[in-house]
Amino acid sequence: MTSIGGAEMVDWNLAVATATRLVRPGPDVSRDEARAVVAELRRHAKASEEHVRGFTRMGTEGVHDTPVLVVDRPGWVRANVAGFREILKPLLEKMQERRGNTPGGAVLGAVGGKVTGVELGMLLSFLSSRVLGQYETFAPATRELPAGENGGGRLLLVAPNIVHVERELDVQPHDFRLWVCLHEETHRTQFTAVPWLRDHLEGEIQSFLGETEVDPMTVLERIREAAQSLAGGRPEGEQEDDGGRSLVEIVQTPAQREILGRLTAVMSLLEGHADFVMDGVGPAVVPSVAEIREKFQQRRAKGASRLDMALRKLLGLDAKLRQYRDGERFVRA
């Protein structure tokens, strides 16, 4: 338990409640249409197993231990809160120990846990309308959200977002849904065919979290400086040397930046390989793959709005777009 006197470091239930309350409604579909979309996504996910295995020749003995879940936006939020809770446990225990030695720490923690829960909920509400699918590598099983045995993950397909994007791009729904499933199934295959990959990533993430500054005042000072830099200002007398970096990057320590560089390299490879597989399998099973690819790349590049682009920069999501491009170039080389 990461709590003192019943107060958790992060109010996870409040995070879920906040995100669920703020999440945007999905596209307008009838109940019958929604059922048809869910059924088709499940069929495509199953078919994608064979397509990806045939193209990559990667063994997938463990793939059947990782369930495929078609979820709505609140379902995606709940799954990711469970994942955050699992992966952040060591860091929160470290922060709990530090807080326990602070006068009034329990009271401050109760308030801070709720504030952090609200902030996390706001972030997840923003992301919940943008993710089409996700292979959850660190996914604890729950009653509502099953996961693979022995630490295996689960594959999430966010049905409302897939329908929204296929309508926005004006592409053939059947083809687009299969195209998305091919990408996400590739990620599932990567982790089930290469068992050490999960442990490697978890080790790097825990090393990253282990370097996290747990002194609240120091963290707040880093965030203040980062916000000033992103806003175009900086503390008096300091040189502007953070140009082009996101808030996520600026608040890191030098050791964390080194670890993040290694993580980014691995994630770029995985994302690029998934795009490569989509393009390799696509022409044989997705007739309109060229049109989908072109329109989707244009959508990735331009962003939805100035606010959306600002948030992407703030959170470092623009770096993910570079992951796709750099990783695919590496795989094709």
Cα distance between residue 52 and residue 22, in whole Å: 36
Q: Is 86 exposed, middle or buried (0-12, 13-18, 19+ CB in 10 A)?
A: middle
Alpha-helical regions (H) of the chain: 12-22, 31-56, 73-87, 89-100, 105-127, 159-169, 173-193, 196-210, 216-230, 247-250, 254-285, 289-302, 306-315, 318-332
Q: Which CATH superfamily is domain 9-213+253-332 in?
A: Zincin-like metallopeptidase, N-terminal domain (1.20.150.30)
Distance of CA 307 to the CA centre of its chain: 20
CA neighbours closer than 13 Å in the CB half-sphere of residue 109: 23
Q: What is the largest CA-CA distance in the chain?
A: 65
Statement: the pTM of the whole predicted model exceeds 0.85: no
d(CA 115, CA 140): 24
Run of H or E including 287: none
User: So what's the pLDDT on residue 149?
Assistant: 67
pLDDT tens-place values along the chain, 333 residues long: 444 334 567 889 999 999 999 998 899 999 999 999 999 999 999 999 999 999 998 876 655 678 899 999 999 999 999 888 888 888 777 777 766 655 445 544 555 678 888 888 988 998 899 899 999 888 777 777 777 666 568 899 999 999 999 999 999 999 999 999 999 999 999 988 888 998 999 899 888 888 876 555 555 555 455 445 544 444 444 444 444 555 566 567 788 888 888 888 888 899 889 988 988 898 899 999 999 989 998 887 675 554 455 555 544 555 555 666 777 788 777
Q: Is 98 in contact with 215 (CB distance < 8 Å)?
A: yes
pLDDT given at position 236: 41
- Among 150, 140, 125, which Cα is nearest to 87's? 140
DSSP string, 192-253: HHSTHHHHHHHHHHHHHHHT----HHHHHHHHHHHHHHHTT---TT-----TT--HHHHTS-
